[in-house]
A = this chain, B = another copy of it.
């Protein structure tokens, strides 16, 4: 696990939509767009049900997550962040997390009615950071 730099932490907490990639049983990639936040050095996303991405992570913990972060680098290419990491799923806490993220991603809009269920949280430990922006190494 990699400790996250201030630039990366800021991008993750800024309300940028996250494209979460998991691996299907046949090894092909699956993508959904999710809201994310931080808890310590883990990236967290809440799920109200046992979605396909959750089942994928339980079987193969390798994930990637990418987000557009706004602005351009000096060549004129759009900035974006990619993290590669290892995910785990914990039970409960999804509704509280989604309500917290709703204030960041959809301020002033009410979150759709939630089922009375504890839900699940995906927690991603970051192994590698890439993309275009202050976190790019190339």
Binding site for B on A (CB under 8 A): 17, 19, 21, 23, 27-33, 62-64, 66, 68, 75-76, 78, 80, 82, 84, 105-106, 109-112, 131-132
Contact = CB atoms under 8 A, between A and B. Distances in A.
Interface of A (DSSP majority class)? strand
Given A33-B78, A76-B111, 13 more contacts: A17-B78, A21-B64, A23-B28, A27-B27, A28-B62, A28-B84, A29-B62, A29-B63, A31-B64, A31-B66, A33-B66, A33-B68, A76-B110
A23 B31 contact: no
Contacts of A84: 28-30
Contact of A31 (B19, B106, B109): B19
Number of copies: 2
Contacts of A131: 33
A111 B72 CA distance: 13
A20 to B, nearest CB: 9
Given A19-B19, A19-B66, A112 B75 contact: yes
Contacts of A80: 17, 19, 33
Contacts of A62: 27-29
